[in-house]
Amino acid sequence: MMSETQIEIVRPALERQTPGDLIKILIAPNPSLRAKARPVGPGDHDRVRDLAPRMLAAMYAAPGIGLAAPQVDVPLRLIVVDLAPPDKPAPVVLVNPEIVQVSEEWAIREEGCLSLPGQFADVSRPARVKVRFLDLTGARREIEADELLAACLQHEIDHLDGVLFVDHLSALKRNMIMRKLAKDQKQLKKG
């Protein structure tokens, strides 16, 4: 799905990453996860080329299938996804992604979030989406997605607007998950 040029841009930087270089993924309720990210502009070119492979490395290490820049405390409209099997990586970097079309049909799918580790819930979203974005070369691209990719793209684009998957649930379910997350994190810190 990613053009050869994009792979050529991220692969050398990805291969240079060592475990010590891994960027930290923020855990809810960190306020940075609730901020609206700003569009990537021409002045962000070098920062985005440096950040995208670092985000991919953090996503693969977690492991996850997507990651949004606000999850690593960078308030830019940049996401990465890879739904391919680990032995055949197919990373996609989406700069300024926008959902330009959604299906009338909705689908329910279980979601997790690297910023809410260990928490999962069924989330209802449009079953298919068309997403417009810029790739790392600045070329305009579009993806038409269904199934898990559609859910993942919507989940990641939500992060750019400070929205978490629990915001799609009832207040009761959301509060239960947030309380369980706080309890799990407290337990983790105790060792």
Token digits for 182? Answer: 């706080």
Asked whether position 113 contacts Zn ion by CB under 5 A, the answer is yes
Alpha-carbon separation of residue 106 from 65, 112, 121, 128, 171 (angstroms): 21, 18, 16, 8, 21
Q: Which residue has the tokens 């990641």?
A: 156
With CB under 5 to 8 Å by kind, the binding choice for 156 among ligand K1U, Zn ion, none is: ligand K1U
Asked whether position 58 contacts Zn ion by CB under 5 A, the answer is no
Segment lying near Zn ion (by CB under 5 A), choices 6-14, 15-23, 111-119, 122-130: 111-119
- Kindly list the residues in this chain that would bind ligand K1U in the complex (CB under 6 A): 63-68, 111-115, 151-152, 155-156, 159
Type of residue found at 178: M
- What residues are paired with 122 via a beta bridge? 110
Segment lying near Zn ion (by CB under 5 A), choices 22-30, 47-55, 113-121, 167-175: 113-121
Residue 69 is given by DSSP the state G
Token digits for 101? Answer: 């079309």
Q: Please confirm, yes or no, whether 156 is among the known catalytic residues.
A: yes
Catalytic residues: 156
* Residues lying near Zn ion in the complex (CB under 5 A): 113
